[in-house]
Each structure stands twice: as C-alpha cells, then as structure tokens.
Chains A and B, each alone.
Chain A
C-alpha cells in the first residue's frame, strides 16, 4: 500500500480521463433532453432559416437558392404589411383588455368567500379547453341569425350585429373570444401576485384613510409590476402567433381584416406551396416579437419601485 501510494506521489498529479470527470456525468444526464431539444427545436429552427433562403414547394425536388429574395418579396408585399397591422391590432387590443379583466377577476377572487375553488375552476376551464372546439362553438354564438350573442344584445335592445361576416366587427369578435378563452390563465397568475402582497400595507393605508381606488393605485398596482410584466411579455408573444381561431372562424376574412401573420404563413406554406416564403414570414414574426420583447425589457418596470 505504502509503495503504491509512494509510486502515485512520485508519478505526479493523477490525470483523470475525460469520461471520468463530474462534468461528463452531468452531460450524460442531460443528453436525452439535449437530443430531444436538438432534434425537435434546434434542427427545425436552423432548417427553417435555410428554407427561408430557397424557393421550394415542399414536395418536388425543385429547390432553388434565392438568398434574401424571399425577404425582399416580403418587405414589398402589401399582404405582409396588412398582416402586420392586423396582428398588431389583435395583440394590442386583446392583451391589455384580457389583463384588465383578469386583474379584476383576480381581485374579486382574492377574498375569503365560500366556493372560491369552484369559481377559480370555472374561470380557468376555458384555458384548458381545446381552442378549435371553442372556436367552433363561437362560430355558432356569433351566428347573425341564431347566435346567442345577438340574442343577448336583443335583451338590451341593441340591433343584431354581423359579427364574423363584418369587416369591422370580425376582429373585435375574435378579441372577445380570446379574452374569454385565455383570461383564466392571467387571472391565476395575478391571483398569485396579489397573495404575495403583504396585508400590512393595506392596513396601514386604511389607517391613513385611503379608499379602495387609492389602495389599488398606490399599493396593489405597483406591487404587481413583476407579475404584470410577465403577463404582458408572455401575452404579447402568444397573441402575435394567434392562428387557431382565425383558421376556424374567419379564414383571414372578411376583406383580410383578420389575416394575421401566422395565417398568412399557413396559406403560403400549405395553400400556395411556397415553403421558402413561409419560412421567411416565420423569421419575420420571430424578429418582430423579439424586438417587442427587448423593448419591453428595456422600458417597462419589472421590479417594484
């Protein structure tokens, strides 16, 4: 034993092989996940970048390198810019409204009332319901002749609307549906945020004679800044990629007033068989969303100040 140890010491520092280190073991553990991410995330992203540089119908063997030609077509396409505006309309209307409704519901649910769990479940159920199924139901709800929406309006003596077949009403109809469908998610996040606000702040405010609105403005809203930031960023990212309800309910019409960017991408890829152009649209969406996200990180309050 002593001889072995002496020999080791005389041999100098023990060199471990690369497969014997802790790092290697760690890499082995993450290898399965890494492979999945590489295969289903990294590879498609890189492949789509390459696709955006070619002209290809996605089926034949005719693939032609066009460089930035697809992006050039995109920039000069009135359909693309129309879709940018339509998507912006949807995003910047649906997200803030949804957040406002979610916050209101979260405040209401932040009470010690009987059946609180049931109410939360009810309001969260639309979130977990299939988007396609909800869209089909809303097509019926918005039916100008039979729909419940017009019946409700008739109760308060408002004339029936055309809803999805009106160029001015179709997008608000989609936005309303989106608020109903997704509000529950934001509500749960806000609820968690509200429950993290110390009660002592409200007690002190009441002692000072502050009313509900003052408490909301001076305590609740500022302390919800991180939560609001999170919901806003994720909401904008999600809303920019809306597709399901447009595909089912309006097909981008009428008059292209609901033709959002992802729907344009879908048409380009699967109706017009322009995989390269569709990939360029995908990257344009990515760049637009990334830009907005960076701007939000830079200019919106993320912490309590």
Chain B
C-alpha cells in the first residue's frame, strides 16, 4: 500500500473534512458578528493597539508592572586602546550603558595603559553567570551588580576590600548615603563595593486623569494612606478599564520578592522597623514586621485591592503610559522611557509616596547598582578604576544621563545637581527623599527572606489567610531560614 493512497483515504473523506472546516469557520464568524448588549460593551471592545513596553533598567528588583525590553546579550564593547584589558560585566540597559561608556572613555587620561571590555547580560541572568564564573574560577575583573547582591558576593570571599585604596586615591567613602553603604560593608567592617547609582520608589501620576477626577496634586497631594485611598478610588473607572493605582504585580508572578520589598516600605512609613536590629540585618535581630504596624501596613494593601478595588491584582501591560492608570508606584529609572512612550498623550508628575502619617511620606527602600572587583592579577587596577568611576563628578554625570539618583550626599546637595533638577523636576522628589531611604535586608539571605515573606503576603492578598496569620507565618519562615543557613535564631 503506497503512502499516498493511505494518506488520501483516511477516516474522514475530503468532503467531510472540508465540511467540518467550513462549518467551524461559519460558527466563528457568527460569534464574531453577533451584537453585544450595552452592559457588556467593555468586554466586547476590541483590544486597543498594543504599545511597546515601557523600558525599565531594573530587571531584577523592580516592582513596576511594565516589562523591560532590555537588549539581548550583545557582543562585548571595548573602550580604550590600552594593552591591559579589564573586563566589566553589567546589566545596564542601553539608556545607562551609553553614558557609562562615555564616562569610561575618560579613564584613558588617567591610565592610558588600560582598556575595558564591557559585557552586557540581562539582570536576571547576570547573577547566575557570576555564580558560574566564580565556581569556574574565571570571574571578571569588575562587576556591576544590584545592591542586594553585594552581601552575597562579599560572602564568597572572592571580592576585594577597597579600604586599602581609599587613602591613596583620596576617596571619601562617607560621602555616600549610609543606607547604601550597609550593603557594601563586610563583617570585618571593610568596604567591598561602591555605589554607582541609586533610586527609591515614589508616585508617578497622570495629570490629566487627576484633573478629570477633580483632584489637584500640585496644591494638595495625598500625604497619608487614607488620602491615597480616596484618590485611588476617585481615579478608578471600571467602565473605562481605568485603575486608580498601580503598585506592581500583586502576585509573586513579578519579581518574586517584590511584595516583601513593598511591605518593608510601608512598615518604615509607620516609623517601625522590619527586623529588630537597627541596621535591618535580620541575622542580628528578630523579625518584627508582624507587629501592629506591620499588620496595618499590609492590611492597607489588601483592602485597596479587595475592598476599595482601586488596585488591580495584575496591572495591565503598560497601563500608565496608555492612560489606564491614574498613579504608578515607581522609580526614577522609568522616567526617561515613560516620557518617551507617553509622548503628548498627557503630562506626568511625581510626588512623594504617602505614608501612615504625613511626615513619613516619601519613605522608601533604597535601590541601585554597585561596582566591585574580584581578586586576581588586575585587582589593583580594578580597585583604582572603581574609585575613579564613583568620583563625585562621574556620579553626577551618570545620574543626570542615566535616569538615576546620585549616591553621594555632596553631589545631591551640590549647586550643580540642584541646577540640573530645576530643569528636570521629575527627579526632584526622588533626590529629596534620599534622606528617608532604608536598606532592604542587607544580607546574603536577601532572596531567601524576601521570597519567603512575599509568598505569605500573597496569601493575604488572595485572602487565603488573615494579614496577621500571614505575617506570623512569614516571621516563622524567616526563623527557619536562619536555622537552615546556620544563623542563631532570634
């Protein structure tokens, strides 16, 4: 029996096949053409043309809903003509990599014998790549990492302490914000990394929607959680599929530890601590986020989603830039691309994120990228380069061009940067609130703890448990992590 004959006369005849196909097509056509009642007009509306995703340079720890179209791994970029090459691994998107490259070009005036090879890897993959490289005894000379990775790197024992170079390079480490330095300091008190850029989380708002809702954030911005709830409710319009507030994905679907990061901010906004130790190092103090303030902080989150229904469980993709969200909890890294994508549709503003009491408004966690050097033949050159890279002038240049906030107090308080802020007012709120930032669990247990806590916080969001129960379980999970990792349970 030939294959063609067997194929030609299977179970269904040609007529039967064509009949089925046409019948199915007719059914779909009928369904598509059926008229819809006015009450379901929202559901039957065709999807709006898709917008390109708003870019973000925070691929690992951002709580924003918009996906980041970071460039895929590209060929390494070589800067400088020196014969001795230092390798730098980073995850900066194009908006940050370009200003960084321009700054590094200036190092040829300092040491023309050096050249630099910059290799980009998306943030989510870079940590695994570093881990593999360390295990294979082939780490790069210098690496740019998220600040929460620094304690993990320090713990490997493979990065170098930079203190020995402070004096020779005339470097004032204390000029950096203390909340950032807590990540960089090892147990021996030495500094193993230096902050390059930083950020915090405040509130974007759509001026047009705010005005249409009868609000005026310029004159009387929301300063407390109650104010924020009222504003979010006014800005929510289910008929238009419009949400009052986007806090980021309410599930661990986004960054896994994002809910814990947010809960920390809210707890600090009450004036309380997350862990008993003042520095926030969990291995030194018990979890206290399950006390009254911590419960109140998360209860607000649960209620605005489930009771007031002003925050979506899953924010729409690009909701803010397409005018579907009145307010967006986000950081300065998103400003350049948000402005580009918003275009002329509306004007955006930034205000301090409200707190439990007005005086605590703007309290946030600190984010950012730090540079560190690995032990090796090039460690001296690498250390000196890092200290040069994070000099006040370079810090300011990078911040102004990359959409971040300077990590040095002298820069933020300097006249030059203040003059820049007057021309770029959207960054002002972030710069002003740097005095209110807290470090997020500066420990090598960062992922263990934030993911464990987030999974419990998620249970409260989905109302699978009360907020108090969820936080009690989270605290217990933290103690389990301490035990398993060899820390003394508190």
Quick check: which of A28-36, A159-167, A227-235, A282-290 contacts chain B, the rest being far away? A159-167
Interface residues of A in 195-209 (CB under 8 A from B): 195-200, 202
Cβ of A212 < 8 Å from any Cβ of B? yes
Residues of B within 8 A of A143 (CB): 314, 316-317
Residues of A within 8 A of B324 (CB): 145
Residues of A within 8 A of B14 (CB): 111-113
User: Closest CB-CB distance, A4 to chain B, in whole Å?
Assistant: 59
- A272 and B253 alpha carbons, distance in the complex (Å): 18
**Which of A146, A166, A197 is in CB contact (< 8 Å) with B6?**
A197
Q: What's the A-B contact tally at a CB cutoff of 8 Å?
A: 166
How large, as a class, is the contact surface on chain B? 35 or more
Residues of B within 8 A of A111 (CB): 7-8, 10, 12-14, 17
Residues of B within 8 A of A155 (CB): 31-32, 34, 44
Interface residues of B in 427-466 (CB under 8 A from A): 444, 447-448, 451, 455, 458-459, 462, 464
**Which of A59, A73, A146, A270 is in CB contact (< 8 Å) with B317?**
A146
Query: Who on chain B is nearest to A252 by CB?
Result: B252
Q: Is the CB of B10 within 8 A of A146?
A: no
User: Closest CB-CB distance, A39 to chain B, in whole Å?
Assistant: 14
Cβ of A7 < 8 Å from any Cβ of B? no
Q: A164-B253, A253-B251 are in contact. Are A140 and B50 (CB under 8 A)?
A: yes
- A170 and B253 alpha carbons, distance in the complex (Å): 10
Most buried by B among A59, A194, A249, A267: A59
Q: Is the CB of B36 within 8 A of A164?
A: no
Q: Is the CB of B254 within 8 A of A251?
A: yes
**Which of A136, A170, A215, A255 is in CB contact (< 8 Å) with B11?**
A215
Cβ of B1 < 8 Å from any Cβ of A? yes
Residues of B within 8 A of A251 (CB): 252-256
User: Closest CB-CB distance, B128 to chain A, in whole Å?
Assistant: 5
**Which of A60, A73, A215, A256 is in CB contact (< 8 Å) with B156?**
A60
User: Closest CB-CB distance, A34 to chain B, in whole Å?
Assistant: 24
Cβ of B110 < 8 Å from any Cβ of A? no
Interface residues of B in 1-37 (CB under 8 A from A): 1, 3-14, 16-18, 20, 31-32, 34, 36
Residues of B within 8 A of A253 (CB): 251-253, 256, 455, 458
- A58 and B47 alpha carbons, distance in the complex (Å): 47
Contact with B along A212-225 (1 / 0, CB 8 A): 10011000100000
- A60 and B255 alpha carbons, distance in the complex (Å): 26
Q: By the criterion of a CB under 8 Å from any partner CB, how many residues of chain A are at the interface?
A: 62
- A59 and B10 alpha carbons, distance in the complex (Å): 59
**Which of B9, B16, B155, B448 is in CB contact (< 8 Å) with A60?**
B155
User: Closest CB-CB distance, B478 to chain A, in whole Å?
Assistant: 13
User: Closest CB-CB distance, A88 to chain B, in whole Å?
Assistant: 21
Residues of A within 8 A of B109 (CB): none
Contact with B along A154-185 (1 / 0, CB 8 A): 11110110111111001000000000000000
Interface residues of B in 223-255 (CB under 8 A from A): 241, 249-255
Q: Is the CB of A144 within 8 A of B316?
A: yes
B residues in contact (CB < 8 Å) with A: 1, 3-14, 16-18, 20, 31-32, 34, 36, 40, 43-48, 50, 67, 127-128, 131, 134-135, 152, 155-158, 241, 249-256, 312-314, 316-317, 319, 324, 444, 447-448, 451, 455, 458-459, 462, 464, 484
A residues in contact (CB < 8 Å) with B: 57-61, 73, 107-108, 110-113, 136, 139-140, 143-148, 150-151, 153-157, 159-160, 162-167, 170, 194-200, 202, 212, 215-216, 220, 249-256, 267, 270-273
